[in-house]
Amino acid sequence: MADPARARKLAKRISQIVASAIEHDVKDPRLGAVTITDARVTADLHDATVYYTVLGESLDAEPDFASAAAALEAARGVLRTKVGQGTGVRYTPTLTFVADSVPDDARRIEELLAKARESDAEVARRATGAQPAGEADPYKAPRAEEDEEQAEEETRG
C-alpha cells in the first residue's frame, strides 16, 4: 500500500499528462472539447480514474458526451503509454475515464438557489403591510418590584 501523499501526487501528474496528451498527441477531433478535471489513483497505485468534462460547440449546444467517451476509449492505450513514460513508476496504472458531474451539479444548485431567491422575494412581498396575528408585543412586560414582593408574601403566608 502506497503513501496517500504519493497517490495524490501521482494522480495530479496523471491528469497533467493525459490533458497534455489529449491536446498535443492524440489527433482525434472528438477530443477537441474534452477537459480533464481530476484524477484519482487507488491506494495500490494500480488503477487510475480520470474525470473529464465536455464543452459544447456554443453556450446553447449540448456537449457530445457519447463521442468523447468513445474517443477516450479508443485512445486509452496511447494515453496509458504516455502516462507510463511520464511518471516513471514500476507499474503503469490502468486508466478509467468517467464523465465529471460537477458542472451539472453546479447548474442544478444554481437553479435551486434562483428558485429559493424567488420564493424569498415572494414571502417578503407578502410580508409588507402584514399585521401580527396576536398582540403587537407578545412578550410579557417585566414586573415591578412591589409586584414581586407581594407575590413572595402570598407564597409564604
Q: What is the pLDDT of residue 1?
A: 63
The Cα–Cα gap between 1 and 157 comes to 80
pLDDT at 157 over 80: no
Q: To which residue does cell 503513501 refer?
A: 3
The residue among 132, 137, 20, 144 whose CA lies nearest residue 87 is: 20
| Mean pLDDT computed over 25-53 | 90
Phi-psi region of 129 (alpha: psi -120 to 50; beta: other; left: phi over 0): left
Between helices 65-74 and 76-87, what is the axis angle to 10°? 60
Q: How far does Cα 152 stand from its chain's mean position?
A: 62
Q: What is the pLDDT of residues 125-156, one digit of tens each?
A: 888 888 777 777 777 776 666 666 777 777 77
* Amino acid in the structure at residue 140: K
Contacts of residue 86, defined as CB under 8 A and 6 or more positions apart, other chains included, come to 13, 17
Instruction: Spell out the domains of the chain, with CATH numbers in brackets.
Output: 4-101 (3.30.300.20)
pLDDT at residue 120 in the model: 92
Q: Among residues 28, 14, 137, which one has the least CA distance to residue 74? A: 28
pTM exceeding the 0.75 threshold for the entire prediction: no
